[in-house]
Each structure stands twice: as structure tokens, then as C-alpha cells.
Amino acid sequence: MKRKPSIFSREYERKMKRRKVGIISLIVIVVLILGFLVFGDYAKPFIKDKIGFISAKINKGEEKNEETAKDIVEDEKTPDSEEKENITDKAPEEKEMSYDVTVSDGVTVKALYDEKDGTKSFKFIEPGSNKVSFDINKSSQQMLLLDESSQKMVLQDINGSTKDITLETYVSSSGTQFLRTNILGTNPGYVWTKSPKFIDDTHIVYISQLPWFNKEGRYYVWILDVTTNSHSNINGLEGASITIGAWEDNGINIDIDGNKFILNSNGSATKVN
């Protein structure tokens, strides 16, 4: 059975208009034909013109209805199109990528970073079975890595450049040279470099037992300037337990045997309690 259109639908409205035009046109044609029968040849041109006019009106009405139906279809399609455009216009997803970083002989880790709007940022590392610690600077453009076994330290930038920043040789005030490899070879438990962290983009703080080799259980705070690769011991910052904490606006937090300090990049330390 053919389904009737709803009386509230546009299709129903179009069909009713078409039916009305058809009925009126039929009546007019019948009247004109009767006129032809009555008036004969004199009515032919007039009847022909009227029939042509009515046909044109009917065709025009059908074309208008078709255009209206087309507009309705286009309107119905618009939300889907807008939805597709909205999906297309979504912000690009962050892509996580990585590359290998050699920290010391035989020790390689994966440095993971993402890229958003053309800017790369370090996230973390995958050390595998290696004992490697790391720190990332504020801009996420540099990463500091320490091989805890060999105590070698490297600086990695986001573009893949690696710089060895290890203090390989310590020179005492008397001019005596002490090599890292020799000291750790004879005393594997000695702390040459420990817990390095960024103070800013060009300065790093770390813990060491240097400059002493016979004071077991005593540690000292050192600063490294990566632009000159110079390592300096900070006088007065020493203790049995040292923890390097988080950044502050004016430096980095350091806890020495329960005493709190803020250390800035020029080596100045301020006690905060």
C-alpha cells in the first residue's frame, strides 16, 4: 500500500498545491474547448495561447517545487557537512617520538619527545636496563642525563646534539690531577657526580664528594657552567645528607641536613630557615 504523506509535511503541501493547480487548469481547458465548439475557428488562436500559458505555469510550478525540494535536501545535509568540517578543524594531536642518546660507553637510552605546532619538547626517557637518571630544563628543549654506574654526564638538546659535560679530571689546589676513571676504579662507591639538575638553561647543580677523597659520608654542592664547561665547588654548602629540590623563581631548593637554601646560577646561596 502506498504511504500517504503527513498533513504536516512539506511534501504534502507541495502535492496539494500541485493538485489545486491541476484542477483549475483542467476547468479552464474544458471552458476553452466549449468556447471552441461554440465559436469555431475564431476561437482557435485564443485557445492555443491560453493552453500554452497554462502549460507554462504548470511547468514553472513544478520547477519551483523541485528547487524547493533541492533546497530542503541541501539544508538537511548542512549539519553533517558542518560536523565534518568541525572534525577536520580539530587541533592536531601531539605526536610522541624518540631518538637514541649515548650517555657513556655501552649505555644508550631513548629520549622521548613530542611535537606540537612545529615545536618539539622533551618528555622523559626509556632507560631500559641501564641506571640512568635525567632532568629536563624549563623550556623542555634540553635534557641532562647521568649514567649512575660510570658517573658520566651528558647534555642533550632537542635537535639531537649531545655534549659530554663530565668532569673527567679534578685538579687539587696543589696541582695534583685525579682522574675519574682511576678514582672509581679503585673506589667504586665514591660519589664523583650525583643528582644533577638544571638551575637554568646554562647552569647545572650536582652533588659530589670532591674535593676530598678521605672524608667518607661527607658531600658537597657543585655548579657547572655548560657554556664554559667549568665546574666549581660552592663553599659552605656541605653536609652528610644533601637533597636538590625543585625550582623557585630566584633559584633552586637545596636541603642540607634539614637546612633549606635557595641557590642561584651565580653560586650565591640564601638560607630560608
Query: What's the whole-number average pLDDT of the chain?
Result: 82
What percentage of the chain carries pLDDT values higher than 90?
A: 61
In Å, how far are 60, 65, 236, 240, 270 from 12, measured between CA atoms?
19, 12, 94, 92, 86
Of 272, 265, 263, the closest CA to residue 238 belongs to 263
Q: What fold, for 98-272?
A: Lipocalin (2.40.128)
CA–chain centroid gap for 217, Å, is 45
More confident residue, 66 or 30: 30
What pLDDT digit, counting tens, does each position of 163-213 carry?
Answer: 999 999 999 999 999 999 999 999 999 999 999 999 999 999 999 999 999
Segments making up each domain of the chain, as ranges: 10-53, 98-272
Q: Report the amino acid identity of residue 244.
A: I
CA distance 108 to 129: 10
Residue 52 three-state SS: helix
- Among 77-81, 120-124, 259-263, which stretch is predicted with the lowest mean pLDDT? 77-81
> What residues pair up with 239 in beta bridges, in sequence order?
219
CB count within 10 Å of CB 246 equals 7
pLDDT of 73: 47
Assign 83 a pLDDT band (cuts: 50, 70, 90): low
